Structure 1
């Protein structure tokens, strides 16, 4: 198979993005029916939430793989290559498998409407996982939950990480409304693990669980984590107490994500006779990696990549930078999509930084760099514009000292382009 064939199918698939976001299950249902209902041949863990979905998916996938299971993982978006979205045993599927999956899905006709890009890729992933006979599929929602294409699943377990205001034009203007959309993944008599903290949102999750007679396990009530000195934490769970666990993913916020993954493992042990040992848990957590989330790619200068693509994530990253690099100069390289609360995101990200370089990823939803810079300059006088992400990252490195810190953030698309550009640079 040639690169031209692979790239040709990707271009054809990416053209589906012009159809935008269309929530609903009718089209994905028809697509999967045409593929022989691969979703019915999968044991799944379904994950929704505002932030932390990918981290929880990565932890669960790594723990189950460590335990000896064949595990599929479907997440979005990708950073550098499309294949990253569809992984089996931690490895992206290869180009030939992408082409074959595209061919099968493009061959489907007589659909209710033209599928969206996300519906297309969801069908690809579920079909691929069924063909590879994965023993577990860890599936992340794209947007919301109730009408998300992935909600065609009938999972063994649902996980809802947290709730904050996002995608208001699609999901609603209040935490309760957004929680109702996320709670849409709760299925009849199917356990659900929740990390939702706000009172109104928790009430919505609880009500939906009661309606679906779904056992609900709540972080802070049924299981919890306590940080120890250094990078260790203790987990007080449903059936186990595991002490001195080490996280492979950096950031204090992972203490909100890791317990959800561990509670999910305990429930799988209870309800699906999954053989996961304490050694699997320890090794899996320690070895979990999730690119583009507090990912360190250099130490001189110190370069950290983090998508921080919504307000909650920006606040977490801003706090991390402020607490971790108190005595160091920080340069922020930032680009944001035009449907985000960009002023609030900039305020949180720029607060601990002495310099900001505004850039723009190559996606039609990106906010123009000059427009973003106008807002940035109301928050700081030290703002530059370098429209190309790769050029912005290289400029940041050239103009920083070895002891300085560079943070690339604001969008996973920015992080992906920066990773590709930095791969060609010799970093320490």
Structure 2
């Protein structure tokens, strides 16, 4: 075959640097290179995105390969095919002529084939006296042999990315199932928390997933679903731990048992003690008497208005306030870590938290009456948690005293729970941590 064929296209088609680059690659193709044409075609199909080829262009390439009589393509063989547009369109499943020409141009621009145009633009072959082809004009398939190694690498990369995308889609599906069912059990079991807000966050993440996502589009969504799943699981685990505290001294300090079921509960005694401290400015307390039907005229009424039998017991000054049901101290400190700075020896118990809240409420400008009303309406532990939460978001509160009185009124009406407040602070903390990371 004549090796002095030019690569400039016929007619109005312009020459591009890509065409020159493809021609250079074809000239440097080693003569010993051997490629199975259908195997390289399958690799091109897998690497079509990296090569810039479309599905219809690959259909045209398949038709071009079918016109080459040999299954094996070699670097020293005659790799020019010269079918007419009519025959090529038939083997391309009846593709219209205009569409055929457009996709032939795509193959040329991708560097998969090279145009070897004749002087008049026709495709044909000229044979010698022995019947062998001396000169042919058409499409040169040599770039498939010259670029075989590159195409195989691109195909391998595409396979790895496709597998990574498949695994990522599976992971997102598992996360979605996990989150949806954990939110459902949280709502059904009445676990404290802002479950409606968590569900809204979950739906927002799901709506960000396109119908045919790519790996780059799915990775950030999968990361946020991971954080949301961990947050929901932690809330459920906190609830389980609070329901089964047992006698775990490392979690809840001392485990105080009371054999008298009709005596005041420890939380009521702690509340009375906290209330007495507020009224008497930390004056020494004497024996604490529980109230019964025959109480003295000077005795105060029982905490909840219930009539009890007369019992007498000394209040041990080392008694600890019992944990607040549903909200472990560790969870509170995780959501409101700033209050730890206001405790002299750290916060190891609910009593320490209440003492620190007493100091913080003065710093925030909350009056003693507002603080006492909050303890009466919420309980001393819950009031301490509210003060810790107010300190954590003090920058967004204009009037701390008015804010606390508003929450106190809601608590009296049974319309306030500290669960949503703690969960909101935990979400904010996680969000800030992700931004910093």
User: If the length of structure 2 is used for normalisation, what is the TM-score?
Assistant: 0.22
More helix by share: 2
Higher RCO structure, 1 or 2 (CA under 8 Å, sep 6+): 1
More strand by share: 1
User: If the length of structure 1 is used for normalisation, what is the TM-score?
Assistant: 0.22
